[in-house]
Each structure stands twice: as structure tokens, then as C-alpha cells.
Structure 1
Amino acid sequence: MVKNEKGFTLIEMLIVLLVISVLLLITIPNITKHHANIQSKGCEGLKNTVQAQASAYQIETKKTATIEALVTAGYLEEAPACPNGTALTIDSEGKVGEASAAE
């Protein structure tokens, strides 16, 4: 009589759990390490977009743009802020930058 036992043994299940645990231990630190880099790139993209809108405003009105003027004229829906919470400003030369901590 031949026994046909199907299923996994306890050792096989423990090995699978060990492999999954090792994979998680490798991937989670990599994801958290790149979080600051992702936020920085998002802020750079937002600054480029606001700079383009400021240039369009300046071309159309022949005035130097401000954040308030861009929002009022409909170039921006609201005052922009980077993913890390830093507000964006436009200096007197029309260049977009991040607000300093003193502001």
C-alpha cells in the first residue's frame, strides 16, 4: 500500500518564512533611505513648474511675478509648497526658491 501524503512540513514552512523575512529586511531600509531624495526631486519639479508660470505671467503682463499675483491671476490654484512643507517664494529678479526658515 502506497501512502500519498501531500502538504508541507513544518521545516519547509519555516524556510519560506525565513526567506520572506530576509527579503523584507533588505527592501524596507532601501525604501526609507530614498524617501528624502524623492521629496527633494518633487520640490525641484514644483519649482520648475512655478518658474514656468512666473515666466508666462511676466511675458503677458510685463510685471515681475509674485506668488500672490500668480494665484490671483489664475496661474496657480494656491500658494505652492514642497512635499516637505517648505513654501516657495519668488525673489525680486523673478527666480523661484524655497522660503528660508526666518520667513
Structure 2
Amino acid sequence: MRTSARLMWAILAIGGVVAAAAPAEAKQCFKKAAQGVALTEGLAHFQVDAALLQSTDWNIYFTWVSGNGTPGYSFGPRHYKCNAAAIGYSCYGEATLCKL
């Protein structure tokens, strides 16, 4: 039980670690990086994407999570490097985002 609780807190901490950033100004592009940990590689990718968007603009994150894309931003191809962890996968990801 303790191990499960610690794992859950670790997942939340790693997935939630984001750099505080103000929304970008128009026509500005920037690189972001994040890490995600989850039971499957696909979920770890999701954690990375969520952290990338949270560190950019919380409003765009909420829009993306609701399935409405990223209006106002290009959220181009992401690059992931994943490794098997003790339980699940740990992925590091990078993306270039542009404010349209």
C-alpha cells in the first residue's frame, strides 16, 4: 500500500513539474521539455504532452484535455525518449510550440 501511494505521488510530482510561464506573445516559438511516468508508454506520452502544455498556458491545456485541440498554438511533432521503469515507463519529451 505504501509503495502504491509513493508511486502515485511520484507520478503526480513528475507529471506536474512544470516551469511557471506566462502565455506567449503572438508569432513567438519556443522549445519545451517535460518528463512523464505511467504504467504504459502511451500514458507516459500523455503525461509529457500535458506537462508541455501546462508549462505553456493552462487555458490551452484545459482546451486540449477536453478534446478541442490547441487553438492559437501550433503543437507540432513531439519527440519522446522512453525507458522501462521499475513499474511502467518513464518518458522524456520535447516539442516546439508557436503562438499563432
By relative contact order (CA 8 Å, sep 6+), the higher-ranking structure is 2
Rg larger in structure: 1
TM-score normalised by the chain length of structure 2: 0.33
Structure ranking higher in strand proportion: 2
Structure ranking higher in helix proportion: 1
